[in-house]
Amino acid sequence: PTIQYIIEEAVASGIEEILIVTSSMKRPIEDHFDKSYELEDTLEKKGKHEMLEMVQGISNLAQIHYVRQKEAKGLGHAILCAKTFIKDEPFVVLLGDDVVVNDENPATHQLVNAYNKIGCSIMGVQRVPREDVSKYGIVRPSQSHTPTENGRMVKLTGMVEKPSQESAPSDLAVMGRYVLTPEIFEMLENQEPGAGNEIQLTDAIDTLNKTQRVFAHEFKGTRYDVGDKFGFLKTSIQYGLKHPEIKDSLNDYIIELGKKLEKE
Ligand code: G1P
């Protein structure tokens, strides 16, 4: 499941305590990361040591905790469910349907590094074609502040959730990775529903920006939207092309398929 890659990214970025915000119907997530006594026992008896190690690896990945979001009131509301867990520390947010591939330096690690330099909330962004801005939270870069980190780090004057093409303040879209200061919870508690009649994280960050500096960091990596059918398929192919067991045959298959499609 793709959430495995999200958790692996968090762990590879130095995160040790993870809270997954789930809901009813999402029980399989808890089972996936739990210890599977029966399965481990069967694999052990059958001498399937490689698979046994893989299964054990999943449950030993990190300290994973769960909280249920009881009503689908939006991303901002989901984050608010984590308040008691987070207490008074900065934290990272990784959205489950944004998978980002960067084997050398995971996207979350890039944001944590940036946070360690400036100590402010940071949005992980990438540029999107103008016609796609209405799918995302879009940041409004400050005109007076000079971008740093080779132009990758910009200060914000605001953020808008899913703006129209005409009203979008830039083409820098939030890609499901955030570092947030704990003051965000105060904003979320008082946040009125916004786009889609949901409590939007974007709106709360926009409010936070009135009292704290907020930055956007253009992270390096290939981002896939697994909440979208075509995006899901592309992600599967990308991961397949890296998988030691199937990468060669998948590569050959794609080349063959390409030749066939060219002829058609
Ligand atoms: C959410 C956020 C949006 C962000 C997007 C990234 O939207 O609200 O700001 O840009 O994730 O995938 P959703 O995709 O849940 O509609």
* Atom 5 of ligand 1: nearest residue by CA position: 136
Mean pLDDT estimate for the chain: 94
If one residue of 126, 174, 200 were mutated to test the ligand 1 pocket, choosing by the most ligand atoms within 8 A of its CB, it would be 174
The mean pLDDT of 244-261, rounded to a whole number, is 97
Measured on CA atoms in the order 176, 181, 185, 186, is the torsion positive or negative? negative
Q: pLDDT of 174-188, one tens digit each?
A: 999 999 999 999 999
At 67, the pLDDT band (50, 70, 90 cuts) reads: very high
Residue 60 has pLDDT above 90, yes or no: no
* Atom 11 of ligand 1: nearest residue by CA position: 176
Q: Is 203 in the pocket of ligand 1 (CB under 6 A)?
A: no
- Note whether 125 and 160 are within 8 A (CB): no
Task: Note the pLDDT of residue 88.
Answer: 95
The closest-lying atom of ligand 1 relative to the alpha carbon of residue 174 is 10
- The alpha carbon of residue 48 and the mean position of all alpha carbons in its chain are separated, in whole angstroms, by 33
Q: Is 199 in the pocket of ligand 1 (CB under 6 A)?
A: no
Q: Is 174 in the pocket of ligand 1 (CB under 6 A)?
A: yes
Task: Note the pLDDT of residue 189.
Answer: 97
Measured on CA atoms in the order 170, 172, 173, 178, is the torsion positive or negative? negative
Range with the poorest average pLDDT among 65-69, 110-114, 143-147, 206-210: 143-147
Q: How far is the CA of 177 from the centre of ligand 1 (A)?
A: 10
If one residue of 79, 135, 159 were mutated to test the ligand 1 pocket, choosing by the most ligand atoms within 8 A of its CB, it would be 135
The mean pLDDT of 66-78, rounded to a whole number, is 95
Task: Note the pLDDT of residue 62.
Answer: 85
At 121, the pLDDT band (50, 70, 90 cuts) reads: very high
The mean pLDDT of 105-114, rounded to a whole number, is 97
* Atom 9 of ligand 1: nearest residue by CA position: 137
Percent of the chain topping pLDDT 70:
100
If one residue of 77, 95, 170, 224 were mutated to test the ligand 1 pocket, choosing by the most ligand atoms within 8 A of its CB, it would be 95
Model confidence, pTM:
0.92
The closest-lying atom of ligand 1 relative to the alpha carbon of residue 176 is 6
Segment holding 216, helix H or strand E:
strand 214-218
The mean pLDDT of 59-66, rounded to a whole number, is 88
At 145, the pLDDT band (50, 70, 90 cuts) reads: confident
Beta strands 214-218 and 121-127: pairing type?
parallel
- Residue for token digits 């290939």? 222
How far apart are the C-alpha atoms of 123 and 110, rounded to whole Å? 11
The mean pLDDT of 192-201, rounded to a whole number, is 95
The mean pLDDT of 110-121, rounded to a whole number, is 96
Q: pLDDT of 26-58, one tens digit each?
A: 989 998 888 888 889 999 999 999 888 888 888
The mean pLDDT of 146-171, rounded to a whole number, is 94
The closest-lying atom of ligand 1 relative to the alpha carbon of residue 136 is 10
For the chain, how far is it from start to end, CA to CA, in angstroms? 35
Please state, in angstroms and as integers, the Cα–Cα distance from residue 40 to each residue in 2, 16, 29, 45, following that order.
22, 24, 18, 9
Q: Is 235 in the pocket of ligand 1 (CB under 6 A)?
A: no
